[in-house]
Amino acid sequence: MTAHSKTSALMARGCEFLGSETAILCGAMSWVSERNLVAAISNAGGFGVIACGAMTPALLDAEIAATKTLTDKPFGVNLITMHPDLFELIEVCAKRGVTHVVLAGGIPPKGSVEAIKNSGAKVICFAPTLALGKKLLRSGADALVIEGSEAGGHIGPVSTSVLAQEILPTLAADHLVFVAGGIGRGEAIAGYLEMGAAGVQLGTRFACASESVAHPAFKKAFFRASAREAVASVQVDPRLPVIPVRALKNKGTEEFTAKQVAVAKLLDAGEVDMGEAQLQIERFWAGALRRAAIDGDIESGSIMAGQSVGMVNKEEPVTEIIAALMAESEAALGGRAGAPVIAA
Ligand SMILES: Cc1cc2nc3c(=O)[nH]c(=O)nc-3n(C[C@H](O)[C@H](O)[C@H](O)COP(=O)(O)O)c2cc1C
């Protein structure tokens, strides 16, 4: 018997699917979700996910291999659907025996879900609406993540609470749905589990864990920030659809506005097509996040963070974060927080 029997019972389906002790995923965070954090999360009973981001197939191969030297627990790999080498990356995952692949950043291109499933891995997709969620499940997705606009990084327009109410009552009984965005404490986890979620995904809460390689200045910016400072980027040109990004407000936020204007001009002049324009925007974010998270440039880099950043105020080992989340959830469900349960 575990010490969190009510929470564990509600997480059982999610745990079985993930092969983990708790159905708490640490969502992939570019540059941050690398071997150390991913292995620490999985070793602590959560489910770590490598952020492939813009990595080449060779780099991803090395990252998966290195992660496997740090943990023998299951972990996933997050691939961005617009990556030009998506199918090669899928092959790398297959070759390395990755058990779960998360497809992020848009509707999976034709053949990608099948290619992953043929390797024996499970496919997890992001569902931005109920209709798309149903379509993704019909196309072979084994599980869905619904992520609200409170989240850090690239976001959709709808809040987690509304998405959960729209999607969980229809899909959660027969399918595995994980809820993400704005979760900072276990009470919120308990609420989504009671609504039928198979588990949850957090990013912001784990970004500053002791095991995270994020730069100390990046972590400090998180500890100081409140929810209202984690703002969504704005689209300046209606012809250039950019996916909003939630990050702490700084000079980099303004530089993004200038970048959009520059790219819109290139589009006007016919120097780039829409696909290239969007790729330039994505490359901007990847570079800006690296500058903040790895180099510690919190002035002009992008400090991607969700609104739950106000609940992150110190560096803690992953084991303590997961233990606190489970205890809070258990207490909210009326169980005894963290108390050991003696098997009868
Ligand atoms: C710094 C940072 C980088 C992120 N990078 C990615 C990414 O590369 N791919 C992805 O699918 N999600 C990314 N996300 C989203 C997380 O995986 C996760 O879904 C999200 O953080 C959950 O919401 P929360 O921030 O409110 O906990 C990122 C989030 C943060 C904070």
* CB 76 less than 6 A from any atom of ligand 1: no
| pLDDT tier at 153, thresholds 50, 70, 90 | very high
Whole-angstrom distance between the N-terminal and C-terminal Cα of the chain?
9
- The residues, any chain, with a CB within 8 Å of residue 275's CB and separated by 6 or more, are none
| pLDDT tier at 34, thresholds 50, 70, 90 | very high
Which of residues 336 and 247 earns the better pLDDT score? 247
Q: How far is the CA of 151 from the centre of ligand 1 (A)?
A: 7
Which of residues 192 and 278 earns the better pLDDT score? 192
Name the H helices within the chain.
5-18, 35-43, 57-70, 86-95, 112-118, 130-138, 160-171, 186-194, 204-207, 216-224, 251-268, 274-293, 318-332
How far is Cα 150 from Cα 267, in angstroms, rounded to an integer?
Answer: 31
Is 3.20.20.70 the CATH number for 5-214+311-332? yes
Closest CA to 179 of 161, 156, 205, 154: 161
Q: How far is the CA of 29 from the centre of ligand 1 (A)?
A: 5
pLDDT per position as a tens digit, 82-115: 899 999 999 999 999 999 999 999 999 999 999 9
Nearest protein CA to atom 21 of ligand 1, as residue: 203
Atom of ligand 1 nearest to the CA of 308: 26
pLDDT per position as a tens digit, 56-84: 999 999 999 999 999 999 999 999 998 99
| pLDDT tier at 289, thresholds 50, 70, 90 | very high
Within the chain, which residue ranges are assigned CATH 3.20.20.70? 5-214+311-332
Closest CA to 178 of 197, 193, 194: 197
pLDDT per position as a tens digit, 154-190: 999 999 999 999 999 999 999 999 999 999 999 999 9
Q: How far is the CA of 342 from the centre of ligand 1 (A)?
A: 38
141 pLDDT more than 80 = yes
Instruction: List the single range of 132-146, 268-282, 289-303 with lowest mean pLDDT.
Output: 268-282
Atom of ligand 1 nearest to the CA of 52: 8
* CB 242 less than 6 A from any atom of ligand 1: no
Nearest protein CA to atom 8 of ligand 1, as residue: 30
Predicted TM-score (pTM) of this structure: 0.95
Q: What does the pLDDT read at residue 242? A: 82
Helix (H) or strand (E) holding 78: strand 76-80
Q: How far is the CA of 276 from the centre of ligand 1 (A)?
A: 23
Average pLDDT, the chain: 94
Closest CA to 76 of 109, 27, 40: 27
* CB 305 less than 6 A from any atom of ligand 1: yes
